[in-house]
Amino acid sequence: MAEHDHEIRLAAFEWLRQQAGLHGDVFSWRTLGKGFPFRGRHIPLVSPQGIFKPRQMDISLSIRTSPDGPYDDAFGPNDLLQYRYRGTDPEHPDNRGLRQAMFESKPLVYFHGLVPARYLAVWPVYIVGDDRSTLTFSVAADDQYAVTSDYGYAAEDASPRRRYVTSTVRRRLHQRGFRERVLLAYRSQCALCRLKHAKLLDAAHIIPDIEPDGVPAIRNGISMCKLHHAAFDNFVLGVTPDYEIRIREDVLEEIDGPMLQHGLKEMHGVKLSLPGRKELRPDRQLLDVRFSRFQNYG
């Protein structure tokens, strides 16, 4: 089945690439469970277990981290993902399968749970280390262009490239995770205009993530459509610590088309639509800092 395994693996990567190009790299559990077409049938990409090998394959195809556990997967000091064994037995068949993937340098897919039933897809990833004392595998991401018919780059040392790619994946996990958590808290709608088209929504940072207080936490985020996010980032609009929307005075005085009138000027004085749970609402102290910047702009 080795040749069959190889073909299926490449078909999975190509299907993920196409779907990510159309819909983005965050997939629903339902989509992953249905899987991808291969020779007249669908092959799933995940199962309830974190380490998954379709019955048509010889070696594991994917690994998965659930957003609510049970495993505490994290990045180590070398920026590699530390993926926990299944259970505590190093010789469990799933653990042996990942060990075999390491020995044969088989590329896998990593699905990182962002919120319930939503997973960021990262591929290809490789098992590059096995530590029985901590019951963890070390995982490195690689460039998608490295996955060719022969898995590519066989003659060169892939470590520097993989360290770089894995560090960018780490940032993607934080960014996508922040967006998914904020949108879930706001019921996938803009807190200002109530637009519900998810592809047109962003998670706006109250304090930018490059600053010490710009933590990727829901309390530092507001769900906004792309128009209002751009206006917020550029201090065209602000939000008071009492959750009231303010539009900059000079913009209120402008005369322009319906987008300015209905999309911005009519937002002045309107209250944000907030999450039902108080602990998920914007932090008033962070809003106070941000609103002071808005008032002092220009």
pLDDT above 70 (res 99): yes
The rounded Cα 262 to chain-centroid distance in angstroms is 32
How far CA 268 is from CA of 62, 75, 141, 201, 228, in Å, comes to 49, 43, 46, 20, 12
Mean pLDDT across the stretch 131-139?
95
Mean pLDDT across the stretch 169-195?
94
Mean pLDDT across the stretch 185-196?
97
| Percentage of residues in the chain having pLDDT higher than 90 | 74
pLDDT above 50 (res 265): yes
Looking at residue 47, what is its pLDDT? 93
pLDDT above 90 (res 163): no
Would you kindly state where each structural domain of the chain is located, as residue ranges? 2-182, 189-296
pLDDT digits (tens, 9 = 90+) for 230-253: 999 999 999 999 999 999 999 999
* pLDDT top residue among 24 and 146: 24
How far is residue 124's CA from residue 194's CA, in Å, rounded to a whole number? 37
Q: What is the mean pLDDT of the chain?
A: 91
Beta bridge partners of 81: 75, 139
* pLDDT top residue among 267 and 168: 267
Looking at residue 171, what is its pLDDT? 87
Looking at residue 72, what is its pLDDT? 58
Domain 2-182, CATH class in plain words: mainly beta
Question: In this structure, is the dihedral angle defined by the CA atoms of residues 168, 170, 173 and 176, taken in order, positive or negative?
Answer: negative
Enter the tokens of residue 83.
Answer: 């993926």
4 — pLDDT class (breaks 50, 70, 90): confident
How far is residue 33's CA from residue 162's CA, in Å, rounded to a whole number? 28
Mean pLDDT across the stretch 162-187?
91
Looking at residue 153, what is its pLDDT? 45
